[in-house]
Amino acid sequence: MKILITGSNGLLGQKLVQLITQESNHQLIATAKGKNRLPFEEGYIFENLDITNKTQVDSIVEKYQPEVIINTAALTNVDQCETEKEDCWRLNVTAVEHLIETAARYNAFLLQLSTDFIFDGADGPYLEEATANPISYYGESKLAAEKLIVESNINWAIARTVLVYGIAHDMSRSNIILWVKKSLEEGKEIQVVDDQWRTPTLAEDLAKGCLLIAEKKAKGIFNISGDDLLTPYEMAVKTAEFFKLSQSSMTKTDSTKFKQTAKRPPKTGFILDKAKKELGYRPHTFEEGIKILAEQLK
């Protein structure tokens, strides 16, 4: 099968390229805006692609005619989306319109990545059928993209995820595990929120979930996240315990103590029954995720 990925320089994009080149026989076209930031070039073709440019999208899809397009490209910085609304909409919504039109023209299956931030967090964890009610502009943009896809006449799937963590090849992104580990090793005083709940997702698990959807061309919405419902404080405690670090400089706090531009939903997280049953999706536990990151750090 021929698969085209957008956003291959991002954390999920990198993990997908790794997974598909190492564990499958699919032909892979990896695309991202700018230079290829992956440390290896074997097993796939790389193309520079700005998905907000309709002409570029048409040209690349026409050139390769993939059976499946996986759109991982997005503006995911929640606060940045609040202050740079035009950029957010262009990348998270308008670009998806381009992909839908091109997928329709070349009969490609489109897998769109979405988020728990389409929910208000009043009664998580959520099933796929739950009613969306975003409380941030980021959430609004991702929900708008979902609606475009659901109302289109193409073959599609939506993979919703939660708080993705992992290690990018260029270490370009931190995550709660790396932040807690580094802070405690340096003896820094840190305050960690204990009144928000998520089901954190190992990037490798999300990549696997996306590949399962792509291979089955499984139509519909799927929750693809971790299985453990945790607060950031609980994640921090598990991190400290794994690395055998003193927790004396770590205190729990609540989200009202932090000034953030965008509102965060208090309790999200996902129920994974559908993905487990229909896709055979099996995520790692959070402790297993920490262990995988620790191995990669070596």
Residue 298, pLDDT > 80, answer yes
Please name the residues in contact with 7: beta carbons below 8 A apart, sequence gap of 6 or more. 13, 31, 32, 51, 71, 72, 73, 74
Average pLDDT over residues 99-122: 98
pLDDT band with cut points at 50, 70 and 90 for residue 200? very high
pLDDT tens-digit map of 128-150:
999 999 999 999 999 999 999 99
CATH of the domain at 155: 3.40.50.720
Residue 3: closest CA among 281, 280, 220, 211: 211
Residue 57, pLDDT > 90, answer yes
Residue 242 lies in a domain: no
Domains in the chain: how many in total? 1
Name the residue range of residue 21's domain.
Answer: 2-167+200-229+268-284
Average pLDDT over residues 273-295: 98
Residue 190 lies in a domain: no
- Mapped onto helix, strand or coil, the DSSP state of residue 48 is strand
Tokens of 131: 């009613």
Residue 256 lies in a domain: no
Give the Cα separation of 227 and 247 in Å (integer). 25
Residue 42 lies in a domain: yes
Residue 245 lies in a domain: no
pLDDT tens-digit map of 156-195:
999 999 999 999 988 777 899 999 999 999 999 999 999 9
Query: Chain-wide mean pLDDT for the chain?
Result: 97
Residue 59 lies in a domain: yes
Residue 297 lies in a domain: no
Residue 182 lies in a domain: no
